[in-house]
Amino acid sequence: MRNVIVSFTLIAALVLSFNVMFTFAVPTQEYSCLNASYFLVDKTDKSVSRERLIAFKLPAQTPYFNQGTRWIKKLVGMPGDTIKVTKSSVFVNDIEYKNDMNTLLMKLNMDAASVEREMVLDDDEYFVVGETYLSYDSRFWGVISQKDVIGNAYAIL
pLDDT > 70 in the chain, percent: 92
Whether 99 contacts 133, CB under 8 Å: yes
**What pLDDT score was predicted for residue 6?**
72
The Cα 78–Cα 82 span in angstroms is: 9
Enclosing H/E stretch for 127: strand 127-129
Whether the pLDDT of residue 35 is over 70: the answer is: yes
48 touches 54 (CB < 8 A): yes
User: Of the candidates 38, 37, 143, 46, which has an alpha carbon nearest to the alpha carbon of residue 90?
Assistant: 143
Nearest C-alpha neighbor of 151 from the set 51, 35, 27, 23: 23
Give the pLDDT score at 71.
93
Q: Each residue of 51-103: pLDDT tens digit? A: 999 999 999 999 999 999 999 999 999 999 999 999 999 999 999 999 999 99
Residues 94 and 148 sit within 8 Å (Cβ to Cβ): no
**CATH architecture group of domain 1-155:** Ribbon (2.10)
Where are the chain's structural domains? Answer: 1-155
H, E, C per residue of 30-58: CCCCCCCCCEEEECCCCCCCCCCEEEEEC
Please give the single-letter amino acid code of residue 69.
Answer: T
Tens-place pLDDT, residues 109-133: 999 999 999 999 999 999 999 999 9
**Beta carbons within 8 Å of 80's beta carbon, 6+ residues apart:** 120, 121
